[in-house]
Structure 1
Amino acid sequence: MRGYRRSDGLFEVEAILTDRKSHNFTPASGGKTVSPGQPLHNMGVCLVFDAEMTVREAHTFIADAPYDTCVGGGENFRSLEGLRIASGWTGEVKRRLVGARSCAHLRELLIPLATTAIQTMIALRVNDPEPVDEHGRPMKINSCFAYSDAGEIVARRWPQYSQLKNS
């Protein structure tokens, strides 16, 4: 995965999945036999988004897949255009691209791809104020393991919200 700012001012993130076997492989449901070292899956997703994290374009490619019909598995990704990469992203992606509406491998790439998009934007937002909830508590608290209110980072950065016992 990688993310970057484009020359037109928009941002782009892409994820590529390549799956190779060390032996001849034929899917249980039939399909083509793949030789050792050759890709069984070679596919990817590209999202173009703006500074507000709104998806402007969504593209996929499927160069290699176990079944000929797999090549259509990215056609519905354009349904992501207009969606904001923010809280609720995973649920909305799954709703729009559920089951047979898309390739499961491409759909699953979208979850960490959102993280890549957010990380791509961090350098631009370094001077932005810390988002807080309606009580003034930083929203980062308890958003992940590192920002646990029982951990050292919260104790150091926001001691008033820390659950660590002073020793």
Structure 2
Amino acid sequence: MPLSQTVRRQAMHTRVVTCNGYKREDGLWDIEGHMVDTKSYAFRNTDRGGFINANEPLHDMWVRLTLDDAFKIHDVEAVTDWSPFKDCPQVAAVFQGLVGLSISYGWNRKLKELMGGIKGCTHLTELLGPIATTAFQTIMSSRPDYCGDLDGVVQEKPPYLDTCQMLREDGEVVMKYWPKFYRPPESSD
């Protein structure tokens, strides 16, 4: 369902983020993110020849994480094709510091520590958020318990339970699809 109608307006900025997850033949996973920022008008920029034209990328950036089934990062590639400043592409090397880390609880905090502020690139770092979500959706969907445990064969609580309102242990979805891990709501008496 689209958003409701609003007042007349003019588009000024567009950011398109695309993320894809791939199963590799060596058993690892490639998760790629691509971000493009454009503006609907030309504006001055001395590092790009005086102007950045309307609808020309202000940012055009890529990140690829290579992960294993436990979300451990084995390789990283970050590329800046277009940026407002000539030295922006050099920051991509900072992303090698992610090798050996795992996407898990505290991921965003780790990113701020490693590459927040002047240590990294705001836009490439922001791209790691949807990349992490894409990694979760890609890798977890290969698990036998991803669509539920109606046969009762899963022994350990799936890590995605209790991560959102619909997947809470005392909710209908868990009761229906992962009955072994369902916990009735506590009485308010």
TM-score, normalised on structure 2?
0.72
2:11 aligned residue: none
Distance 1:142 1:82 in 2: 26
> In the aligned structure 1, how far is the partner of 2:170 from the partner of 2:47?
51
Change in 2 beyond 3 A, CA 1:71/1:160: closer
Q: Which residue of 1 aligns with 2:122?
A: 104
Counterpart among 28, 41, 46 of residue 10 in structure 1: 28
- 1:109-161 deviation line (CA, Å, top 9, x unaligned): 111211111111123212483643xxxxx654431132245754245445952
What root-mean-square deviation, in Å, do the aligned CA atoms of Structure 1 and Structure 2 show?
2.5
Give the corresponding residue for 2:54: 36
Q: How does 1:18-167 map to 2 (within 5 A)?
A: 18-26=36-44, 31-32=47-48, 33-127=51-145, 129=154, 131-132=156-157, 140-148=160-168, 151-157=171-177, 158=179, 160-163=182-185
Q: 2: CA distance between counterparts of 1:95 and 1:61?
A: 21
Distance verdict in 2 for CA 1:120–1:141, change over 3 Å: closer
Contact 1:149 1:164 in 2 (8 A): no
Distance in 1 (alpha carbons) for counterparts of 2:182 and 2:57: 52
**Following the alignment from structure 2 to structure 1, what is the Cα–Cα distance between the partners of residues 39 and 155?**
46
Quick one: which amino acid aligns to residue 34 of structure 1?
I
The letter for the 1-side match of 2:23 is R
Tell whether the 8 Å contact from 1:49 to 1:56 is kept in structure 2 after alignment.
yes
2:44 is aligned with what amino acid? T
Q: CA separation in 1, counterparts of 2:126 and 2:28?
A: 24
Q: Is the 8 A contact 1:22 1:37 kept in 2?
A: yes
Alpha-carbon offset, residue 69 of structure 1:
1.7
**Shift of residue 25, structure 1, vs aligned partner:** 2.2
1:41-61, Cα deviation, whole Å (9 max, x unpaired): 000111011122110111101
Runs of 4+ with deviation above 6 angstroms: none
Structure 1 stretches lacking a partner, 5+ long = 133-137
Count residues in correspondence. Answer: 158
Describe the shift of the 1:141–1:163 C-alpha distance in structure 2 as closer, same or farther (beyond 3 A): farther
Cα distance 1:139–1:84, how it changes in 2: closer, same or farther (>3 A)?
closer
